[in-house]
């Protein structure tokens, strides 16, 4: 389906506006959600901090003040039992009756306090008010946790974890205690039992958020205060948020509940006890953010409507001049030359229309020139057609001459090659040791070259080089070639000249140009110790490396004047392995050994 320019402009405007508004709306929605969550977290933490400061901290500091006051009381500090007096439990000595009455008044005025008492270090006496008849004479305060903690921390007030009172009241209490010292000597410990219900009462009477509640827990997860009395001294270890709040002293975390709502956990650590004061609220973030989402959608819809109107107006402005130009093009396609575009606007489309009209004038001129040139070409073509027969006859004659010349060149090439091969054969005929050597080297070289991927031209050059590689021995005296046993340095130097002699013999034969270079290099070594030029590594061509391996293998497996017994195939392969990388190319040797082991070549003896 074809879409007009007008529609394309309208759609483009819609896409741009919709994309921009959608992106802006998405990020605004996301940012609003983040701000809302952070605001809730901040308010919750501020509320929790205020609750701690105004209720828990004030209450606990008041208790600590009371304990410190009595721990510094001169009668308590100076207390010492009379000699011979028995251990005292559940009654006050005469000298402390006034203090006992004050303690009783404090307890009666503060229903959150269970008892006030003084544990004596000297004999384990336990002076308590009001009197608890259920405490027996065997009770020794020095063995109690609150006493031990206070004596281990004599410089500060200590708070115990909740425990069941030692009497028959079965109350769960928290003890706040302080060691009594007289010139660094321990006199005893002052303690106040606070009913655990006091902390639950605080959590019950305070509002935390819209649907939230407070709880007090230990680092082990024991619940010390909760609006639900059934959960007191239960555990919060299994709650998904418990491990998170253990990792810090204070903070706010958000979790998703099973109902899909967000649970916000706010906590701080009470320094006196290391307990965690925890506030838990449940909020529906999606519901709270819905008004913002609705506003974003409304803005997006309004923007789309505006974009559609603007796009439609722009499309009309753009398409009118284009439509005028299209009308002119349509008339020209029907053969109506001489028409021109009439653009009424004063913008770039006016310039475009003028340039279009100028182009039409040029095209009309070119068409007239074309017609004139066509006429000239027709006349010239008639003249050329008259000469066509002569050209064809000349072409046939030239083709025949080329064929004859090609035949003569091949004849010359073959005759020269036959002559050179005859020379090589004549050398082999004089030397019974090397008879058939060139043919065997040829067979080995071609087998290696084909496996190593040489192209046909390289194969042909390698074949000629293999057949003619010893032609240079024409210039070597026969008595040196056939000398048995040790050969002198002078004779060896003479023998090593045969690659140069071969190169010189073949230097005037153009089609053997590549082959003579292979022959020239076939006694070079990859370690640079060969002859005649001392080439090494990549300086030696691959065909020359192949010829060197083929020549060496046939020499090893044939009799020579200097070696009457030829090597076996296995011995020759071991020798090739020994010299590869120094004398011979590793890749060529490995390829030849693989060919030989897989019987891909037959070498005539």
Q: Provide the mean pLDDT of the chain.
A: 83
Q: What is the pLDDT of residue 143?
A: 93
Q: Give residue limits of the domains in the chain.
A: 72-195, 431-597
Task: Work out the pLDDT band at 605, boundaries 50, 70, 90.
Answer: very low
**pLDDT above 90: percentage of residues in the chain:** 31
Query: Is CATH 3.30.450.20 the classification given to domain 72-195?
Result: yes
Segment 185-207 mean pLDDT: 87
> Residues, the chain, total?
605
Cα 106 from Cα 117, distance rounded (Å): 12
pLDDT per residue as tens digits for the range 131-185: 888 888 889 999 999 999 999 999 999 999 998 887 767 788 999 999 999 998 9
CB 253 within 8 A of CB 273: no
0.85 exceeded by the pTM?
no
pLDDT per residue as tens digits for the range 476-528: 887 887 777 777 888 888 889 999 999 998 888 888 899 999 999 999 999 99
Cα 530 from Cα 545, distance rounded (Å): 12
pLDDT per residue as tens digits for the range 250-293: 888 887 765 557 788 898 988 888 888 888 888 766 666 677 76
pLDDT per residue as tens digits for the range 561-576: 666 678 899 999 999 9
Cα 202 from Cα 516, distance rounded (Å): 110
Looking at residue 434, what DSSP letter applies? G
pLDDT per residue as tens digits for the range 579-598: 999 999 999 999 999 999 88
CB 156 within 8 A of CB 189: no
pLDDT per residue as tens digits for the range 371-426: 788 778 877 777 776 666 666 666 677 787 778 877 876 776 676 667 656 766 66
Cα 52 from Cα 58, distance rounded (Å): 8
Cα 394 from Cα 400, distance rounded (Å): 10
Segment 299-311 mean pLDDT: 76
* Fold topology of 431-597: Hypothetical protein af1432 (1.10.3210)
Question: Which helix H or strand E contains 80, and what residues bound it?
Answer: none
Q: What is the pLDDT of residue 285?
A: 67
Neighbour count for residue 276 (Cβ, 10 Å): 23
Cα 583 from Cα 523, distance rounded (Å): 9
Q: Which two tokens stand for residue 167?
A: 């009497």
Q: What is the pLDDT of residue 287?
A: 66
CB 343 within 8 A of CB 319: no
Which three-class secondary structure state does DSSP give residue 19?
helix
């Amino acid at each position: 389906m074809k879409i007009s320019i007008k529609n394309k402009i309208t759609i483009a405007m819609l896409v741009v506006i919709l994309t921009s508004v959608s992106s802006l709306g998405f990020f605004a929605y996301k940012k609003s959600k983040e701000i809302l969550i952070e605001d809730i977290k901040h308010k919750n933490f501020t509320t929790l901090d205020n609750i701690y400061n105004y209720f828990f901290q004030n209450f606990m500091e008041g208790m600590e003040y009371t304990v410190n006051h009595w721990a510094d009381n001169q009668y308590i500090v100076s207390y010492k039992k009379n000699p011979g007096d028995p251990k005292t439990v559940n009654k006050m000595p005469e000298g402390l009756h006034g203090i006992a009455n004050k303690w009783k008044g404090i307890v009666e005025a503060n229903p959150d306090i269970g008892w006030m008492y003084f544990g004596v270090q000297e004999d384990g006496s336990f002076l308590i008010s009001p009197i608890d008849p259920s405490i027996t004479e065997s009770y020794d305060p020095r063995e109690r946790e609150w006493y031990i903690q206070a004596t281990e921390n004599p410089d500060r007030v200590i708070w115990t974890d909740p425990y069941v009172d030692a009497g028959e009241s079965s109350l769960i209490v928290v003890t706040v205690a302080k060691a009594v010292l007289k010139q660094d000597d321990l006199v005893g410990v002052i303690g106040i039992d606070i009913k655990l219900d006091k902390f639950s009462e605080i959590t019950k009477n305070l509002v935390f958020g819209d649907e939230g509640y407070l709880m007090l827990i230990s680092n082990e997860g024991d619940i010390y205060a909760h609006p639900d009395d059934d959960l007191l001294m239960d555990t919060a270890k299994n709650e998904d948020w418990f491990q998170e709040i253990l990792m810090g002293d204070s903070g706010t975390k958000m979790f998703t509940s099973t109902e899909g709502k967000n649970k916000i956990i706010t906590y701080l650590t009470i320094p006196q006890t290391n307990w965690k004061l925890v506030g838990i609220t449940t909020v529906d973030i999606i519901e709270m953010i819905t008004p913002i989402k609705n506003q974003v959608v409304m803005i997006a819809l309004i923007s789309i409507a505006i974009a559609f109107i603007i796009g439609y107006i722009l499309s009309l402005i753009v398409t009118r001049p284009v439509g005028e130009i299209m009308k002119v093009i349509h008339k020209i396609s029907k053969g109506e030359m001489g028409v021109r575009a009439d653009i009424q606007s004063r913008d770039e489309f006016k310039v475009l229309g003028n340039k279009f009209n100028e182009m039409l004038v040029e095209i009309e001129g070119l068409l007239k020139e074309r017609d004139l040139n066509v006429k000239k070409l027709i006349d010239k073509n008639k003249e050329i057609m008259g000469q066509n027969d002569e050209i064809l006859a000349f072409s046939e004659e030239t083709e025949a001459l080329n064929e004859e010349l090609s035949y003569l060149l091949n004849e010359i090439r073959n005759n020269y090659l036959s002559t050179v091969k005859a020379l090589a054969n004549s050398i082999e005929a004089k030397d019974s040791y090397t008879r058939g050597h060139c043919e065997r080297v040829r067979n080995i070289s071609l087998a290696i070259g084909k496996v190593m991927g040489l192209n046909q031209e390289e194969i042909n050059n390698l074949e000629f080089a293999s057949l003619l590689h010893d032609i240079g021995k024409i210039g070597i005296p026969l008595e040196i070639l056939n000398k048995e046993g040790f050969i002198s340095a002078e004779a060896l130097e003479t023998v090593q000249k045969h690659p140069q002699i071969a190169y010189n013999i073949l230097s005037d034969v153009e089609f053997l140009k590549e082959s003579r270079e292979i022959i020239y290099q076939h006694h070079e070594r990859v370690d640079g110790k060969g002859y005649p030029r001392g080439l090494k590594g990549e300086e030696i061509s691959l065909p020359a490396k192949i010829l060197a391996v083929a020549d060496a293998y046939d020499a090893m497996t044939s009799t020579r004047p200097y070696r009457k017994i030829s090597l076996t195939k296995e011995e020759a392969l071991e020798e090739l392995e020994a010299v590869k990388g120094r004398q011979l190319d590793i890749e060529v040797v490995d390829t030849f050994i693989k060919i030989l082991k897989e019987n891909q070549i037959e070498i005539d003896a």
